Amino acid sequence: MVFVKKKFDMLRLVCVWLGFFFISDSSLGCSANAQTIEETSGLYDVTLSKEIQTDVNTVWKTLTDYSRLSTFVKGMTRSTVLEGHGSKKVVQQTGILRLLFFSKKFTVWLSVDEKYPRFITMTQVKGDFDHFSGRYDINQTGNNQVRLTWRGTLKPSFYIPPIIGKRLIKKNINKQFCDVISEIIARTNSKPKI
């Protein structure tokens, strides 16, 4: 009887962990309106999009607040502007990818090109990815309404177990996107009402 109980307890524990592993990203408190991730031979293409009640300037100021990103993007431990020449910057970012028992620290040096107020592109010039590029598109869709879209392509140079690869990338990128959205909303709500 004790043996059966131990097997049952072990099975219940495995079910809890599997439930956690396959938990919906909407449980993060933020859900992108559009979200896709495709993986081909370790190369991940990700698109996230969200409609926000805010103005373009608040979105822009949040996205370009590079030195403070690590204060509101969980998983990012450092973000520093190394060079800045007008709309072109070199930004170093350090962070951690996490899922269940897996975690991996990474650092990237990004060449950033800002085209106010429409988009920001970023391309890795050095770092822990074989490839990393991304783009934020900012589109005003109505009065005090903005659609923020992030598209990125990345291929980590470090090993990610295939069974968790797509899930790890999706969960971490969605979480960072949601952290940015939350900061935009907080900055919007802290503005004096006219």
CA 186 vs CA 52, 62, 80, 158, 193: distances in Å: 11, 10, 22, 35, 14
pLDDT in tens, 37-71: 898 888 999 999 999 999 999 999 999 999 999 99
pLDDT at 155: 94
CA angle 141, 172, 109 (to 5 degrees): 90
DSSP state letter for 191: S
**How many Å separate Cα 166 from the centre of its chain?**
13
The CATH superfamily label for domain 34-189 reads START domain (3.30.530.20)
pLDDT in tens, 90-127: 999 999 988 777 788 999 999 999 999 999 999 999 99
**What's the whole-model pTM score?**
0.83
Q: Tell me which residue has tokens 């509101």.
A: 72
d(CA 113, CA 26): 31
User: Pairing relation of β-strands 145-156 and 43-52?
Assistant: antiparallel
What are the domain boundaries of the chain?
34-189
**How many Å separate Cα 38 from the centre of its chain?**
15
d(CA 164, CA 104): 13
